[in-house]
Amino acid sequence: MNFKHILSEIEKTDPEVYQKLSGRRDALKSFGSKVALAALPLALGSMFKKAYGKTTDAVIDALNLALEFEYLEYTYYRQGNNTGSLIPANDLPGFKAMETQEKAHITFLNTTITSLGGVPFTPKNFGAPTTVAPYVPAAYDFTMGGKYTPFSDYKVFLLLAQIFEDTGVHALQGQMSQLLGNNPILTQAFQLQSVEARHAAFVRHIRRLAPINAPETPSPWISNNIPPTIPFQAYYNGEDNVEHNGVIITNLPNIHYNNGAMPKISATGAFDEPFDKTRVLTLIAPFKL
C-alpha cells in the first residue's frame, strides 16, 4: 500500500484534504513510513471517517463481496498448490504467488471492514477445528457436484481458475460505484482489481500455450463473450458489449487500421463489464456448500 500516493491522488481532487484531516502535511506525508503495513487500513478508516463523514453500509457491503470472493480463490489455490504433482513445476511459482496475494487481500479486507465499523464476511464452516484460517475447504465444492475434477486434472484446474479470475475482475468492477466518495478505499479496490486481472492473464497465458492448447486460444483478456467452455457461458454474457457511456466503440472515427473499422474483438477486449452483487453470488453459488 502506497500511503503517500493515496494522499497525493486525494489532494488532486480535494486540495483541502490535509485541513480536513486536522494534521500537518509533513506528518501525514511520513505517516506511511512510520506505521506498520498491517495497521494502515485501521488508521485510514479512522482518519477518513472523520474527514469525510460516516462510512455507508454500501461500502462495507461492497468490500464484503470482494472478501467472499477472495476466500473462494485463496482456498482453491491453496488446495491446488498442495495437491501432489497437479501443477507442473514451471507453473507452480506463479500459483504460489497467487495464493500468497489472495491471502494478503483477505487480511487487508478483513482489517479495513473492521476499521470501518463493519462485520467481515466469513465462509460457511469458518473456524472449524480442522480449519486454518483463511483456508476453508469445508465451505466449497470445486467439483460442482461431481461435474469437474480440478484437483486431478490440470486442464480442469486451469479452466476453473480462469473462470474465478475473470469473474473476480467483473465483481470488483461492479462494486466501484459503491466506493465513490471514499477515495482511499476506491484506490485500494482498483489495486486489488489490477492484481486479479494479472492473475487472469497468467492463467489465460498458460491455457493458450502448449501443452494445454485451449481450443478458444485465449488472449490475456476477455475477447467478445467467448467462454473457455460452453457450460460457463453465463460467466461471460454481456462481454460482447461495444457501447460505453453512449459511445459505440466500433464506430469511432479516424481508425488508422483495418480499413478504418474498429474490430469488435478489439472493442470488447478494451473493457471489463461490471457484474452486480446478485449476479456474482449466482455465479459462485454452484461452488459453495
pLDDT tens-digit profile, the chain (289 residues): 444 454 454 455 445 444 444 443 443 344 444 444 444 454 455 554 544 433 578 999 999 999 999 999 999 999 999 999 999 999 999 999 999 999 999 999 999 999 999 999 999 998 866 666 789 999 999 999 999 999 999 999 999 999 999 999 999 999 998 998 888 899 999 999 999 999 999 999 999 999 999 999 999 988 888 899 999 999 999 988 888 788 888 888 877 777 777 788 888 888 888 999 999 999 999 999 9
Residue 175 lies in a domain: yes
Do 193 and 139 lie in one domain? The reply is yes
Asked if 115 contacts 172 with a C-beta cutoff of 8 angstroms, the reply is no
- What pLDDT, on the 0 to 100 scale, is given for residue 81? 97
Residue 248 lies in a domain: no
Please name the residues in contact with 198: beta carbons below 8 A apart, sequence gap of 6 or more. Answer: none
The answer for 68, left when phi > 0, alpha when psi is -120 to 50, beta otherwise, is: alpha
* pTM for the whole structure: 0.79
- What pLDDT, on the 0 to 100 scale, is given for residue 235? 96
Residue 222 lies in a domain: no
Asked if 250 contacts 226 with a C-beta cutoff of 8 angstroms, the reply is no
Provide the domain count of the chain: 2
- What pLDDT, on the 0 to 100 scale, is given for residue 191? 92
- What pLDDT, on the 0 to 100 scale, is given for residue 180? 85
Three-state secondary-structure class, residue 288: strand
Do 13 and 63 lie in one domain? The reply is no
What is the DSSP code string of 169-204? Answer: HHHHHHHHHHHTT-HHHHHHHHHHHHHHHHHHHHHH
- What pLDDT, on the 0 to 100 scale, is given for residue 55? 52
Do 3 and 135 lie in one domain? The reply is no
Do 8 and 54 lie in one domain? The reply is no
- In the chain, how long is the greatest CA-to-CA distance? 64
Do 53 and 118 lie in one domain? The reply is yes
What is the DSSP code string of 252-273? Answer: -S---SGGG---HHHHHHT---
Residue 9 lies in a domain: yes
Written as nine digits, the cell of 80 is: 491446488
Please name the residues in contact with 105: beta carbons below 8 A apart, sequence gap of 6 or more. Answer: 66, 70, 74, 192, 195
Do 110 and 29 lie in one domain? The reply is no
Three-state secondary-structure class, residue 140: strand
Do 193 and 70 lie in one domain? The reply is yes
The answer for 222, left when phi > 0, alpha when psi is -120 to 50, beta otherwise, is: beta
Do 27 and 86 lie in one domain? The reply is no
Closest CA relative to residue 207, chosen from 185, 174, 229: 229
Do 80 and 3 lie in one domain? The reply is no
Residue 234 lies in a domain: no
Residue 232 lies in a domain: no
- What domain range is 70 assigned to? 41-212+276-287
Asked if 40 contacts 5 with a C-beta cutoff of 8 angstroms, the reply is no
Residue 256 lies in a domain: no
Closest CA relative to residue 78, chosen from 130, 133, 124, 143: 133
* CA 195/CA 61 separation, integer angstroms: 21
Do 28 and 47 lie in one domain? The reply is no
Do 162 and 100 lie in one domain? The reply is yes
CATH number (domain holding residue 105): 1.20.1260.10
Do 171 and 56 lie in one domain? The reply is yes
* CA 102/CA 113 separation, integer angstroms: 16
Residue 218 lies in a domain: no
